[in-house]
Amino acid sequence: MKQTLLIAESDAELRDIYRRFFSDRGYSVETASDGLDCLKKLCQASPAVLVLDRELRWGGADGVLAWLREEAVMTELPVVLTATAACPDVAEDHEPPVVKFLAKPFTLTVLLDSVRTAVAENGGEEPIINRHHVSAYSELFID
């Protein structure tokens, strides 16, 4: 079974590079361009790993991480957090669900290794999301 990744990246070119790279390696890839889109895709896709750009617009990574930490059904979703080295306090956010931090620029093989490790540490399983237990405001994102 293909592992599903959600890549939430603000840079359209990087988002496309990551999508093609992981698709070529057998992953099913969903992408999000901002925080609101990321929340919607989290509710729809049930990814095995979230690759999250700290500098997302519209809710941003902080909002996505706060939501993940509040939702008991989402606490098992491993997050690989990415950001430019200039982003303040980013390297300090290693509380679950963040399992790895990568400072940009990084190589695609480093990202691949981080995703593989996150999947393996999660038992190789995609988290089961019971959409009936997702908070009321997240219902806005479920079709």
Max Cα separation, the chain?
A: 39
pTM of the predicted protein model: 0.83
- pLDDT at residue 137, rounded to an integer: 40
**Digit-coded pLDDT (tens) for 39-56:** 999 989 889 999 999 999
Question: Which tokens in the block code for residue 54?
Answer: 């700290």
Domain CATH number, residue 85 = 3.40.50.2300
Q: How far is CA 15 from CA 9, 20, 52, 122, 138, in A?
A: 5, 9, 11, 24, 24
Total domains in the chain come to 1
Domain enclosing residue 55, as ranges: 4-141
At 110, is the secondary structure helix, strand, or coil?
helix
Question: Which tokens in the block code for residue 115?
Answer: 């995703």
Question: Which tokens in the block code for residue 32?
Answer: 């999000």
**Digit-coded pLDDT (tens) for 96-129:** 899 999 999 999 999 999 999 999 987 765 444 4
